[in-house]
Each structure stands twice: as C-alpha cells, then as structure tokens.
Amino acid sequence: MSRVSHDVDPEFLALPLREAAAAALQAAADAGASRADVRVERLRGQDLALRNGRLERLQDGTTVGLAVRVVHDGTWGFAAGPDVTVEEAVRLARQAVEVARASRPLNAEPIELADEPVYDDVTWVSDYDVDPFAVPTQDKVALFADWSARLLASEDVDHVDVSLQQALEGKFYADSAGTTTTQQRVRLQPRVTATRVDPGGGFETMRTLAPPVGRGWEYLTGSAYDWAGELAELPSLLVEKAKASSVEPGRYDLVIDPTNLWLTIHESIGHATELDRALGYEAAYAGTSFATLDQLGTLRYGSPVMHVTGDRTVPHGLATIGYDDEGVQTQSWDIVRDGTLVGYQLDRRMARQNAGVLGVDRSNGCAFADSPAHVPVQRMANVSLQPDSEGPGLDELIGRVDRGIYVVGDKSWSIDMQRYNFQFTGQRFYEIKDGRLVGQLRDVAYQATTTEFWGSLEAVGGPQTYQLGGAFNCGKAQPSQIAAVSHGCPVSLFRGVSVLNTVREGGR
C-alpha cells in the first residue's frame, strides 16, 4: 500500500510549541538542571457503542497539556499542567527542579541516560488514509447500525453490540541536547459481538476477530479487512458453538491462530522481557519476571524455531512511532533468537544502567507516557513471533495433527506475577482428528508454564499466515498508565499442551 502523506493537526500546530519548549529548557538550565526535556501533547479520543442498532454511548474528548522532566543533581524532577503557554512552561520547569531537589535525599541511584544522536526538527506521521475524526459521527453510526441489522436479521442472533475506540495523538518533544520532534498517529479498535440466548436462559457470544490497528477510517470501509465476510459468517459460527461438545481435558496438540496467540505473546513474552520488570521495578503493581537479567544469553525460552523481535517501526502497529518520549529513534531488535533470550525492551536509563550485562549502550526506544500529565516509563514495543520464510500454511499444520485443537480468537486469560504460569481461552475451538477439522468444541482453556509452552513449539507458519493482533489497554506503572500495543505472529503448532475443561474447573 502506498503511503499517504498527512499534515499534522493544525489545532495542535497552532499551540506555541517551540516557544514554550525553549522557555522551559532555558528555565530548567538556569535553575541548575543538567538535562531537561519537554512534551506538549494534544490527544483526541472518541468512543462510541451501539446496542441492537441503537446508539448507546458516545464520548468525545480532547486532552491538552505540557510536561517538563529534568535531571538535577542526579535526580528526576517532573511537573505538568494543562496550559500551553510560555509563562506556564517556565513555571513548570522551575517546579520540576524543585521536585528533584526535594527528592534528592531519597535517591540512591543517580540518573544516567544512554547517549542518543540529536534529531533536529524532524516530523513523523503514521500510515493511514482517512482521519477518523474527519468522518461525521452520523456516518459512523449509520455504518454500525447497518452491520447490526445484518446480524439481527438472523433468527440465531438475539443481540448485537458494536463498539469503536478511536485516537488521534499529537506530540511535540524537545530536549536540552537539541532534539526536536513533531509526531502524529491514528489508531482504531472496532468490535462486533453477537449473542444467542437459549430458551433455557443460557447464552453464547461470538466476536469478530478484527484486530485493533494503526490505520484510519479506511480500515472499516476498504479492503484491509473483510468485514462483510466475517459478519455473514458469525450467526452460523454462533449456532455451531452453542451445539458443540464440551472438551475432554487432557494433553492435545494445538494449532493456534494469530488471533489468539498474540495475547499469549503479550503476557508471557512482552511483559516478561520489559527490563524494568525483570529488575523488580513493577513488583508492587503487576509483578516481576522469571526472565531475569542474569539469564540473558542462556535462558531457553522456547524451541529453536522461536524467533521473537521487538519493533516500534512496523507499519500499522499500535506501538509504532518515529521517536519515543526520550527522543530515541525507534528500531527493531531481537528478544528471543533460536529459542534463547537475547534481548530486552529498554529506555535510556535502563540501557545505561545495565550496559555491561546487555552488551549495548543504547535504548531501543521504549519510553512512553500515555498523557502529558504522566512521566514517561518503559513501555512495550510491538513484540512479535516471526514466521518461517518458507513455512507451511494453516492446512498443512492442521494436517500434521492426529489429535488436537485449532484455537481461534482471544477471550479470557490469567498469568501469575512472574509471567510464568498461565491459562488462556479463546473465541472458538475446532477439534482436529487425523489432520482434519471435525467441528467446534466448547469450554476449552490451555494451561502451561511459559518455557514449557514455548518449548513445545514445533513449527511456525509462513509469512502468508502472519497477522498483527493487539490491544488498546495494556496497563503498567503507578500511577497507572495505559498503552496500545500490537503483536504479530504466524499460525503455529504446539505439541502436547495441557487442556482444561473450564466448566468442570469452575465446579459446574
């Protein structure tokens, strides 16, 4: 697809971006800061939902603000506010230095940041065709009402829920080293859920598999995704699921679709290889990691066919950006190679602090703040399992299985505080017998430890099976921050994975 060039939102550019940044950087230097950076952000969000074709929720909001972060006497200082003016920028810079001074007695680890080249006045805009905020709301509601009507026309569908989250993020960054960046990105998360109610009061649901993406409105109306085909298929899939047999627990070979496997990657690899988490900085909120720094280069994360990368540059990725919130140009790197842990996700402090063990002294661009009110923290890249360049397709992988299950779509999940013991369910499951799909199963969950699961990976599909999945709502840090992130993977074959019956496990 050819890239469409977009102008940065003129309302964002109308703010005194450079004047405020210059004033803040000068004020921070005058107050004794050895380093300072400034972010100005304008974040637009729209969230709409329909229930049975009727508009149920519409929220449209804009957040604007300015943040100043400094290093003074080896200590972080931070201040932020909603007014983007030169006077406010100066006040916030002085306040950030005061915060650093007050915090200095508590700081046992002087702040040092990895070096990074200077990027002088660069602009980056994500790859999309149609700004969703330029589309009239009534057109969006009309499209989703039509989708709802198509599904409700089936006697097998009793309720339809459609939702869409949209974001337009404008961000200006400047630091005392001389880097200045202006960036804009767009993302969408659409969902359609059909519900079938049984006469006895039970129910089943089936959700579309379309992933959230870093695209524009064209994702919902163009050829990037077959919405018409999936909507037409949902009623029959729902009926088949309702009539499916309950799974017998035991060990099965699993062929896992990218629409499910992305979430397992997120929880068991993405979070586990955030270096701040591996070093214990997230212990109070979302746990640590079994993949500790002393195991770099030796931990057998999985089988030899396992190749996982971190990437903040992949087209349409939710974590894709040109430069991170510390002025680092984004990049791609290996996290697991030939089944062995070889890298982590880093910001500039983590990179410098652990350079001797890491063997590198540069951040890989993983600093991000979800709003101008928050300090940047180390956040997840687009962490992805790479396909085999000459790998098999879905049918061939299914053909290799005598007794197994094909897992499609994500649903509920659970993982422990070290990202090691986990359990995942899905949208639908197909029994495999003698290399063929023989119908849906119900009540399936697969359970393993991270290294056991990835160690059972026998084969990954070819590039034709590769797809990006992801989520808008990855949480981390205190105070809590939310980030959007994508995870790509091919269809993959795992041998001898433990499968539970969720109804029996629940005592029902």
The β-bridge partners of 37 are: 69, 175
Residue 421 has pLDDT above 50, yes or no: yes
Domain boundary among 243, 278, 307: 243
**500 lies in a domain?**
yes
How far apart are alpha carbons 97 and 33 in whole angstroms? 7
Which residues neighbour 37 within 8 Å (Cβ) at sequence distance 6 or greater?
68, 69, 173, 174, 175, 176, 326, 327
Check whether residue 180 and residue 256 sit in a common domain.
no
Please report which confidence band the pLDDT of residue 5 belongs to, taking 50, 70 and 90 as the band edges: low
- If you count them, how many residues does the chain have? 508
Check whether residue 159 and residue 294 sit in a common domain.
no
Q: Are 321 and 286 in contact (CB under 8 A)?
A: no
Check whether residue 108 and residue 191 sit in a common domain.
yes
How far apart are alpha carbons 386 and 186 in whole angstroms? 25
pLDDT tens digits, 292-332:
999 999 999 999 999 999 999 999 999 999 999 999 999 99
Check whether residue 54 and residue 184 sit in a common domain.
yes
Which residues neighbour 438 within 8 Å (Cβ) at sequence distance 6 or greater?
430, 431, 432
pLDDT tens digits, 443-457:
999 999 999 999 999
Q: Are 474 and 266 in contact (CB under 8 A)?
A: yes
Collapse the DSSP code of 502 into the 3-class scheme (helix H, G, I; strand E, B; otherwise coil) and give the result. Answer: helix
Check whether residue 353 and residue 488 sit in a common domain.
yes
Check whether residue 226 and residue 282 sit in a common domain.
no
How many CB atoms sit inside 10 A of residue 405's CB?
A: 23
How far apart are alpha carbons 115 and 327 in whole angstroms? 10
**5 lies in a domain?**
no
- Identify whether 132 is preceded by a cis peptide bond (ω within 30 of 0): no
**287 lies in a domain?**
yes
How far apart are alpha carbons 13 and 32 in whole angstroms? 30
How many domains are there within the chain? Answer: 2
Check whether residue 305 and residue 163 sit in a common domain.
no
**Within a 13 Å sphere around the CA of 18, how many CA atoms are in the beta-carbon half?**
9
SS3 content of the chain, % helix, strand, coil (to 5): 25, 35, 40
**pLDDT value of position 251:** 98
Residue 91 has pLDDT above 60, yes or no: yes
**Mean pLDDT of all residues in 142-151:** 98
Residue 84 has pLDDT above 90, yes or no: yes
Check whether residue 358 and residue 424 sit in a common domain.
yes
Domain boundary among 194, 225, 243: 243
Q: Are 373 and 298 in contact (CB under 8 A)?
A: no
**Mean pLDDT of all residues in 90-111:** 97
Check whether residue 282 and residue 394 sit in a common domain.
yes
**3 lies in a domain?**
no
How far apart are alpha carbons 169 and 321 in whole angstroms? 11
CA 315 to chain centre: 14
**335 lies in a domain?**
yes
pTM above 0.95, yes or no: yes
Check whether residue 213 and residue 282 sit in a common domain.
no
- What are the distances in angstroms from CA 46 to CA 56, 90, 188, 374? 14, 32, 10, 21
**464 lies in a domain?**
yes
Check whether residue 257 and residue 177 sit in a common domain.
no
Domain boundary among 204, 219, 243: 243
Residue 6 has pLDDT above 90, yes or no: no
- What are the distances in angstroms from CA 342 to CA 78, 156, 295, 313, 339? 33, 50, 9, 20, 9
Q: What is the CATH number of the domain that holds 44?
A: 3.30.2290.10
**350 lies in a domain?**
yes
pLDDT tens digits, 237-248:
999 999 999 999
Pairing relation of β-strands 436-442 and 428-433?
A: antiparallel
Domain limits at 93?
10-243
What percentage of the chain carries pLDDT values higher than 90? 96
**59 lies in a domain?**
yes
**Is 51 exposed, middle or buried (CB count within 10 Å of its CB: 0-12, 13-18, 19+)?**
middle
Check whether residue 16 and residue 80 sit in a common domain.
yes
The β-bridge partners of 492 are: 256, 460
DSSP string, 133-145: GGS-HHHHHHHHH
